[in-house]
Chains A and B, each alone.
Chain A
Amino acid sequence: MKDDSFELAGRRYVSRLIVGTGKYRDFAETRAAIEESGAEIVTVAVRRVNITDRNKENLLDYVDPRRYQILPNTAGCYTAEDAVRTCRLAREAGVGELVKLEVIGDQRTLFPDVPATLEAARILVKEGFKVLPYITDDPVACLKLAEIGCAAVMPLAAPIGSGMGIRNPYNLRIILEQATVPVIVDAGVGAASDAAFAMELGCHGLLVNSAIACAHDPIAMARAIRMGVEAGRTAYLAGRIERKLYATASSPLDGLIR
Chain B
Amino acid sequence: MSNDFQIELNGEAYRVDGDARLASLIERLKLKRGRIAIEINRAIVARAAWDEVTLKAGDMVEIVNFVGGG
Which residues of A are interface residues toward B (Cβ below 8 A)? 20-24, 30, 43-49, 51, 54-55, 58-60, 70, 72-73, 75, 85, 88-95, 160-161, 187, 207, 209-210
Q: Is A88 within 8 A of B44, CB to CB? A: yes
Q: Is A49 within 8 A of B64, CB to CB? A: yes
Complex alpha-carbon distance, A190 and B39, angstroms: 38
Which residues of B are interface residues toward A (Cβ below 8 A)? 9-12, 14, 29-32, 34-39, 42, 44, 46-47, 62-70
Contacts of A90 in B (CB 8 A): 37, 66
Complex alpha-carbon distance, A46 and B38, angstroms: 12
Most buried by B among A43, A54, A58: A58
Q: Is B37 within 8 A of A45, CB to CB? A: no
Partner of B66, one of A44, A85, A161: A44
Partner of B68, one of A21, A51, A187: A21
Q: Is A49 within 8 A of B69, CB to CB? A: no
CB distance from B37 to the nearest CB of A (A): 4
CB distance from B15 to the nearest CB of A (A): 12
Q: Is B37 within 8 A of A54, CB to CB? A: no
Known: A51-B12, A54-B30, A88-B44. Is A45-B69 also a contact (CB below 8 A)?
yes
Contacts of A92 in B (CB 8 A): 37-38, 44, 46-47
Complex alpha-carbon distance, A21 and B67, angstroms: 8
Contacts of B10 in A (CB 8 A): 48-49, 51
Q: Is B66 within 8 A of A60, CB to CB? A: yes
Q: Is B68 within 8 A of A46, CB to CB? A: no
Contacts of B32 in A (CB 8 A): 58
